[in-house]
Amino acid sequence: MNAAEQASTIEFASKIAATVGLFKSELPDLRADLKPWLNDSTTRDLIDPDSVDIGFHFPGVSRLFQCRSLLIQIRLHQDAGSKQRRAIGLEVGGFDHQGQRWRLSTIDDWRFEGAITPDPASGESLRNCCRRVFEVFNQELPAA
């Protein structure tokens, strides 16, 4: 689901903003898109309400990342009786004018899949961002 639609509380909006900030700190040229999905009935049928989706766009095609845009999907889970939604996985896709070029999933073994994949150092930078997203979304809320 579009990150802009998931920002329903100050705490959750802060986590989304922190996520954008950490990607931009690692890759300053990125432009964030908090509404990467179209708002039409076909797209709405495919949207996962238990995810936060953020698009990032390079100013052109990135040779290091072998793409023009990144789509980050943070998968969430809320335990029964808990207010907090935790990150349980991230899916990252690299896209250009031909479609998806590669993907990275933290659910399995954190390896890139695709015919073209990012430069190894750039890939590790992206994995580091994913680790930091887990820290942001899974920190405990202070007791009220």
- Cite the beta strand spans of 63-98 per DSSP E: 67-78, 85-96
CA 119 from centre of chain: 19
Residue 143 counted as domain residue: no
Q: Does the structure show a pLDDT above 90 at 50? A: no
**Per-residue pLDDT tens over the stretch 51-65:** 899 999 999 999 999
Q: What is the predicted pLDDT for the residue at 51?
A: 86
Residue 51 counted as domain residue: yes
Residue 70 belongs to what domain range?
3-138
Q: Is the pLDDT higher at 38 or at 76? A: 76
Whole-structure pTM value: 0.85
Residue 12 counted as domain residue: yes
Residue 35 counted as domain residue: yes
Number of domains in the chain: 1
Residue 91 counted as domain residue: yes
Residue 144 counted as domain residue: no
The 3-state DSSP class for residue 80 equals coil
Residue 103 counted as domain residue: yes
The average pLDDT across 71-96 equals 88
